[in-house]
Structure 1
Amino acid sequence: MDSSDSPGSLDFGSPGSPTATADNNDEGVGLSDPTKTHNRKEMLDLVNRLRNTGVQTDIDLPLIAVIGSQSAGKSSLIESISGITLPRSSGTCTRCPTECKLSHSDSPWKCIVKLHFSTDSKGASIPVRLVHFGAPITSKSSVEDRIRRAQHAILNPSTDSNKYLHGDNVSDENEVSFSKNYVSLEISGKGLADLSFVDLPGLIASVGRAGDERDIDLVKSLVTSYIKKDSCVILLTVACETDFENQGAHHLAKKYDPEGKRTVGVLTKPDRIQSGDESSWLRILRNETEPLANNWYCVKQPGSQTLNQGVTWEDARRQENEYFTMTQPWSSLEPRYQKFLRTSNLTERLSVILSELIAKRLPEIQKELMDALQNTEAELRALPRAPSNDPVGEVLHVLSSFTRDLSRRLEGTPEEDGLLQTIRPHQQAFKRAIRETAPNFVPWERTPKGRQLPKADFLANEGDDKGSESESESEFSKKIYINEVFDRAQSARTRELPDNYPFVVQKAYIEQFTQQWRQPAMELFDNIHAILKVDLAKLVEEHFAEMGKGNAKQSVLMIVYDHLDDAADRTKQRIEWLLELEQSPTTLNTHYYSDYKDKFLAYYKGCRENTDLATKLKVYQSSKGPFPRPNYSDSITKVLSGLAEIGIVVKAEDLPKLLPSDPMEAALNIMASVRAYFQVAYKRFADMVPIAIDYEIVLGLEKNMDKALQDGLQITGPEGYSRCRNMLQEFSSVASRRQDVQKKMERLQAARQELKQLM
């Protein structure tokens, strides 16, 4: 059969050419050529060292898995390869995997037994735990009992393994009937092949009355978990005493290795072939039926009766050699197929296959390892920080980090979604709302809809005059006409001289707009308060969400909200104070006030006395430049020049002041005075309210925040240490997860060190 690579499979190479006879020696049955290449041993030793780190839990390491149905002769095959005796009487030998790591060594023979736990009694995954089960064994006669005890320990994961190591009476009752946890045997000595494999429980066809039907699927699942991996060499044992098609292990192997690229077949119990069936089994051995890339082998192990007679392993290998040499049809098998007979040839071939697979897989192993390290590091970083040995220092550090970050955000950051950037639109909306409360004086009597005020050019850069071309009914109704102002002024007079009117008139109009300022001011405060509350919640989440069980986050959030509420109370008091100040009209900004009063008076007069004049003056002021000018522009220029000649220097917009006296002069003065004061007061208020809010609740939020947190959390008092420790106490699930990930990291790092030594 062609053994070249195919997609999704591995090619282990073609069979070698070991000798057709076994070279017996006194050290054991798993014989190896002492001249075996150093590279092969190096590859096998590397994987053994990697498996010692436990990294096979995390990455796919090459291994040989021995599978077969119950009574397929697996145990005898393992004994013949390893040179040890497996326990048979208790029935536990096939109830958990047994890992055998054989290593050729010039040192005296020894066996180290370990227990590998990765699941609990319910089959749930647990952190990988490797337990040394007793001191190294130096006598082969002691191995069987140690393995039996180790298997009991594996089947009882909740019990201290020392009970089974040293106990005199070990009960056959176990917590589990089968287990994924396994016994690991590290065997070294002269004459041993450099080989590693895992003996898996035999597949079950049926269970007796006392058995559990679930064990059938449990064992099948266990075997599948090994052989489904592409880097697993399947050592398939098939007993010749049972019809080939009825052996479930073959069907399972074929399911996961349909092309036979990574399966090595072993025919056992050839002495029990039914008369007349020899040819069908020979066709399998010759790879004519059910062909495999690495062929089929046939071995002959001593039967139970022979073992009971105390036959030595050396005698067993000699008897195997004699059997294939003297017994038909094996003795007459073509020479090219003789290399597929005997345990020694199988062992040699398995060693070659495994070492070549390791060498081929090495780059992939390195990549898988580095990827696993990278992913595990990321997983560790994603976990919350482990509780500190200095809980007070840790909590103070987090609090300090929180307050620094808070200060930075309150001072302002350049991000588009920064705190100040979020607040600014609300400040601008507040200013517009205040500006829109300006009294809308009209310098003529109420007239039918249609007559409009022209734009006040001196307000063009302030955005105060909307100057719309058409007015809605609501805007029309908000106007304050000059006759209304005059009537109000007249009704307010008491003992004043003629042409004098009490200040109460101006004050009444001023109060009309200042009383409207409370709502926009409080809306600005409410909006900023809400923004700060959301921002604080985000900041607390960033710094405290992963602290302990979440209690710290809730406590901190309540404290900072209380601190925010205190600042909010102070801010509202400031706003109320500013509103109260505006109830008494006053200003020291006399120049600004007088300038605006003169401009509004001229504007109102011009609109009232001669609307056409106002329009012409407006056109005159805007028609400077090389463009054609209206005819009346020259006349206006002459008037301004003539006045200048007699010492009266005025601007074009001042010309309405020269118009004849108006009976509504007093009302015009009141209108101009109130409107000018609005310009002074609104700008003052539109500045001071945002400044006060910023000072008290934005920048002011940082003041004493650190002290508020320390006092609120009570971390500096006599109970500070215990309170900080409780704050940092995490969920057991998080601690367990971190421990698992840290142990995984340790395994991966240990494996990386082993790979580095190979470079």
Structure 2
Amino acid sequence: MTSQLSVGGQPPGAFRSLGRDTISDGEYARKCRALMKLLRDLRNLGAHTVFDLPKIVVIGSQSAGKSSLIEAVTGITVPRDSGTCTRCPMECTMTSLGTSWTCTISLRYEGGIEDARGGSRPQRFGPADITNKRDVELWLRRAQAAVLSTDTDKAQWETKSADEIKQAIRAGAGMRMFTEDTIVVDIQDKDVTDLSFVDLPGLIQNSDEQSIELIKSLVRRHVAGENTLILVTMPVSDDIQNQGSVVFAKEADPDGRRTISVLTKPDMLGPGATGAHQFWKQTLENQNTPTNANYLRHGYYCVRLPDDKQRQRGYTAQNLPNLDYFDTTKPALLVRLMETNLPQLRTAVEDALRECNNRLGKLPPLPKGEPLTNIMMLITTFLDDLSSASVGDSHKPLAQDCRRRYNRLREDIEEACPEFRPKDDNTDDEDVINISDVRQIIQNCTAWELPGIVPYETYKILIDRFLRGWDEPVQACFDDVFRIFSAFIDKLSGAHFSSYHNLKTFVLSHARSELEKSKSEALGSVRKLLSLEGRPPFTQRSDFSSKQDHWTREYRRTFFGRMDIVKSRDEVHVMATVRTYFQFALEASIWTSRNAFLGI
């Protein structure tokens, strides 16, 4: 197997116009450099967090040869000793500018404390320019340790040795295993091919679940964009169907329109592996047939890169023959993708700018006077408005919503009204009480009372029986009123502090805290009122007797012909008395509950 095979049936000559002898010269080179610079500048401004910028993403499992491939493309050496792996994304941009080779390293924080310091803008790490390629490996180690460290003092890592960094990572104290923060590498050299790509940490299986999921999330997010070229690296010694990187690429790009596959370590296939040789030969031929599930529009590459022993002897990837096709096709695809995407990107930027200007136009004029005075006036106005709304002087819907809920509470409590019947009709309803039930309660309560005198305890038992059904509807009403009032406070704070996000957050935090305290106090008052109701049964209503007579006549009329009214005189009197008390207690309870709710 040679170091580079034909791709998709097209020989290298098909792209000879983009060969190594012309790619850095002429109109194409000028356009390529301009587009790469634009892409780098947009990403440095943080545009990648808003827009789907064109990019190449390199994915693969650990030990898939990704590091060797990166070295072959960039010409730099990356950390690769035993136990070392890529633990964060590395964004590399190569530009054919300048007269000598230079490299700069920056750190871009994607979230957390560091993000608040500089957003998505890269922060310079190390010297302004690295001019010796041999120094890059150590600076990459330092940069990776800096982004993995939870310490905000990143500059401390700029003086660490390789051994000190290895020891710190092994110790694990204050160090994350992996991170989303990115190392940004900019290489300038007149002899390089203009190219930009993102190298992601290799997919792992033997680690903690959090690290495994973090890397999977990184891969999914980076390959999801329609403007992303996915470069999948995989060793030919592994089964293509078991490659996690292949699975992620197919999920994001099921048609294979933006996936390129690079096969590594072909020397791992022994001469006896005839079946594997035949499979990879068919795969590399990349025939677009219904039976070829591995077909890719941009085909496959196969490269043999130096092993550790060869690198120690100074044999680099640049010594390998026939890399022209690999070096020229990727930049050409990326440039083509950028050219196609520029009109869409320009439209997206214009839309975002228009939206931003609209939001800026809605901001209030700059406040005049002392800031503290202005803040106090804003808060005072908010509190006055809230107080006015709570008593119905303004924001009428608040009072109307609460009033509707109080009316529903009355209906719910009325369902607990004692239901008296003349005789047992074999119902299982506990709220139904017939004449015989009342008679039995009277008998159980009678001691040395005079004839015709119903024991007072009889009324208490029956009143307590229906009062027990009030707790649940009152609690439900209280919770609903609290939700209505809480939602109103959120809405009112938005109206008063929409232009002051931090102030709104501060006021809402304190308002909710105070509201919870008031809720606890008001709920205690409601429960106390419920516990006092009917203990003992008492009323100062002067019309109690007339209402009692009304219900006596009503029960006699209803029960006539179904029972002996004369013999059941005491029972009917008890029923009428309890029913009258229920009506008066209901009216009083609705009013006192409303007042207690207002304590919220």
TM-score tier by shorter-chain length is 0.5 to 0.7
Q: Which secondary structure state, in structure 1, belongs to the residue aligned with residue 326 of structure 2?
A: helix
Matches of 1:129 and 1:362, distance apart in 2? 22
Q: Distance in 1 between matches of 2:42 and 2:99?
A: 22
Asked if 1:216 is matched to 2:223, the reply is: no
Q: Structure 2 stretches of 5 or more lacking a match?
A: 1-9, 383-393, 397-490, 512-600
Corresponding residue for residue 297 of structure 2: 293
Structure 1 residue 292: Cα displacement: 1.1
Indicate whether 1:172 and 2:145 are aligned: no
Aligned-pair distance for 1:245?
1.9
Establish whether residue 230 from structure 1 lines up as the match of residue 226 from structure 2.
yes
Give runs of aligned pairs for residues 161-560 of structure 1, distance below 5 A: 161-168=154-161, 169-170=164-165, 171-173=168-170, 174=172, 175-204=175-204, 206-207=205-206, 211-275=207-271, 276=274, 277-288=276-287, 289=292, 290-311=294-315, 313=316, 316-318=317-319, 320-321=320-321, 342-377=322-357, 390-391=370-371, 394=374, 549-550=506-507
Report the more deviating stretch, 119-128 or 344-353: 119-128
The verdict on how the C-alpha distance between 1:270 and 1:247 changes in structure 2, with shifts beyond 3 A counting, is same
Structure 1 partner of 2:95: 103
- Contact 1:239/1:268, CA 8 A, preserved across alignment: yes
| 1:120 corresponds to which of 107, 112, 120 | 112
Count how many residue pairs are aligned between Structure 1 and Structure 2: 386
Query: In 2, distance between residues paired with 1:21 and 1:272?
Result: 32
Matching of residues 548-627 of structure 1 within 5 Å: 549-550=506-507
How far residue 291 of structure 1 moved from its aligned partner, in angstroms, is: 1.5
Confirm whether residue 75 of structure 1 aligns to residue 67 of structure 2. yes
Identity %: 35
In structure 1, C-alpha distance between the alignment counterparts of 2:278 and 2:209, rounded to whole Å: 37
Q: Which digits, 9 at most, give the CA deviation of each residue in 1:134-181, with x for residues without a partner?
A: 122111011000001000111114331101112343312442111111
Work out whether 1:34 is the aligned partner of 2:25.
Answer: yes
Question: Could you state the TM-score of these two structures normalised by the residue count of structure 2?
Answer: 0.56
Per the TM alignment, residue 287 of structure 1 is displaced from its structure 2 partner at its CA by 1.0
Q: Deviations over 1:713-742 (max 9, x none)?
A: xxxxxxxxxxxxxxxxxxxxxxxxxxxxxx
- Say if 1:383 and 1:89 are closer, same or farther in 2 by CA, change over 3 A: farther
The DSSP-based 3-state class of the residue aligned with 1:87 is: coil
Find the aligned partners of 1:248 and 1:82 in 2 and give their Cα distance: 25
Contact 2:75 2:318 in 1 (8 A): no
Check whether the contact 2:46–2:119 (CA below 8 A) recurs between aligned residues.
no
Q: Which amino acid aligns with 1:68?
A: G
Give the counterpart letter for 1:34 in structure 2. D
Answer yes or no: is the 8 Å Cα contact 1:15–1:295 preserved in 2.
Answer: no
1:271, CA displacement in angstroms?
1.8
Three-state SS of the structure 1 residue aligned to 2:143 is helix
Pairwise CA distance, 1:274: 3.5
Shift in Å, 1:239:
0.9
Please state if 1:44 is matched with 2:36. yes
Corresponding residue SS for 1:229 = coil
Residues 37, 396 of structure 1: alpha-carbon distance in 2 compared, 3 angstrom cutoff: same
The answer to whether the Cα contact below 8 Å between 2:23 and 2:328 also exists between their aligned partners in 1 is: yes
Give the match's secondary structure for 1:234: strand
Q: Give the 3-state SS of the residue equivalent to 2:341 in structure 1.
A: helix
- What is the RMSD computed on CA atoms of the aligned residues? 4.5
**Aligned counterparts of 1:117 and 1:540: Cα–Cα separation in 2:** 33
Aligned-partner Cα distance in 2 for 1:541–1:21: 58
Q: TM-score, normalised by structure 1?
A: 0.45
Q: Assess, with a 3 A threshold, how the Cα gap between structure 1 residues 307 and 397 changes in structure 2: closer, same or farther.
A: same
The question of whether the paired residues in 1 share the 8 Å contact of 2:45 and 2:120 is answered with no
Instruction: Give the 3-state SS of the residue equivalent to 1:236 in structure 2.
Output: strand
Report Cα offsets for 1:325-379 as digits up to 9, x if no partner.
Answer: xxxxxxxxxxxxxxxxx43321210110001101101121122223333444556
Which SS does the other structure have where 1:267 is aligned?
A: strand
SS of aligned partner of 2:110: strand
Q: Report what 2:6 is aligned to.
A: none
Asked if structure 1 preserves the Cα contact closer than 8 Å seen for 2:45 and 2:121, the reply is no
Between the aligned partners of 1:293 and 1:129, the Cα distance in structure 2 is: 35
Q: Does the CA-based 8 Å contact 1:120-1:157 persist in structure 2?
A: no
AA matched with 2:295? P
Structure 1 residues 274, 388: CA separation in 2 closer, same or farther (over 3 Å shift)? farther
**Unaligned stretches of 5+ in structure 1?**
1-12, 25-30, 322-341, 403-416, 420-537, 555-759
Residue 141 of structure 2 is aligned to residue 141 of structure 1: no
Shift of the 390–109 alpha-carbon distance from structure 1 to 2, 3 Å rule, reads farther
1: distance between equivalents of 2:258 and 2:252?
10
Aligned partners of 1:190 and 1:55: how far apart in 2?
27
Question: What per-residue deviation string (whole Å, max 9, x for no partner) do you get for residues 462-491 of structure 1?
Answer: xxxxxxxxxxxxxxxxxxxxxxxxxxxxxx
In 2, Cα distance between equivalents of 1:20 and 1:541: 61
Does the C-alpha gap of structure 1 residues 344 and 93 become closer, same or farther in structure 2, counting only changes over 3 Å?
Answer: farther
Q: Within 2, Cα distance between the matches of 1:21 and 1:394? A: 65
Deviation at 1:14, TM superposition (A): 12
2:345 maps to amino acid: I
Please report how far the alpha carbon of residue 242 of structure 1 lies from its aligned counterpart in structure 2 after TM superposition. 1.6
Q: Is the 8 A contact 1:287 1:295 kept in 2?
A: yes
1:93-147 Cα distance to aligned partner (Å, 9 max, x none): 4211111001012421110100010123999999435210012211101100000
Contact 1:20–1:345 (CA<8 Å) still a contact in 2? no
1:112 is aligned with what amino acid?
T
1:17 aligns with 2:14: yes
Secondary structure in 2 matching 1:307: helix
Structure 2 residue matching 1:281: 3-state secondary structure = helix
Counterpart-to-counterpart distance in 2, 1:215 and 1:253: 20
> Partners in 2 of 1:76 and 1:180 — Cα distance?
22
Task: Report the Cα offset of residue 283 of structure 1.
Answer: 1.6
SS of structure 2 residue aligned to 1:111? strand
CA separation of 1:20/1:245 partners in 2, compared to 1, >3 Å: closer, same or farther? farther
Partner of 2:145: 152
Shift of 1:184: 0.4
Q: 1:33 to 1:395 in 2, by over 3 A?
A: closer
Q: Deviations 1:47-82 (Å, cap 9, x if unpaired)?
A: 111111121011110000001111111111111000
Q: Distance in 2 between matches of 1:541 and 1:268?
A: 58
Supply the AA of the counterpart residue of 2:302. Answer: C
CA distance in 1, matches of 2:269, 2:17: 22
